[in-house]
Amino acid sequence: MLRGELTGLRARLPVDAEILHAELYEDVETWVRADSRPWVPVPSGPASPFWAVSAAGASQPADVATFSVVELATGELAGEALLWGIDPHNRSAHIGISLRPGCRGRGLAADALRVLCRYGFAIRGLHRLQLETLTDNEAMIRVAERAGFTREGVARGSDWVNGAFADSVIFGLLDSDPS
């Protein structure tokens, strides 16, 4: 397990996938704001986007590293963290963090983000990490800025959210940036 001050990142378990599916995927209003894939009704199980590793232990795609976020003090599943779009040639990846509703507002996202960045830079040897979020997601913007990410710009009308296009802000962090 990769450890931070408040959180740990560990392999996804089937029971994690069931909980994340119920609390993150079935919350349609949050899902359509947090993921670029359209929401469609799928049952919990191998069809769920949270089922990164099957019960038989099949591995995930090479361009994705998916973790369950656990709160170290309680051992409670707090959410998910992932690197996606891992590009070994350009040594870059995108970051995603999603926390269960009851785990938000406690500093867990910021800690999980720091742990995920350490994993990307120190273990995977990446040079650049990128984070995108909607411009009205003030909580994630604060987390990114506190973690040392640089606001690089706004992608106007880049995300289809609840029947309208929304802007997203792009943040980047380099392995050479001060931490």
Residue 57 has a pLDDT of 44
Q: Which pTM value belongs to this model?
A: 0.88
- Band (pLDDT 50/70/90 cuts) for residue 159 is very high
- The CATH class given to the 2-127 domain equals alpha beta
**3-state SS class at 68:** strand
Rg (CA), the chain: 16
**∠ CA 164-166-170, rounded to 5°:** 160
Residue 56 has a pLDDT of 40
**3-state SS class at 12:** coil
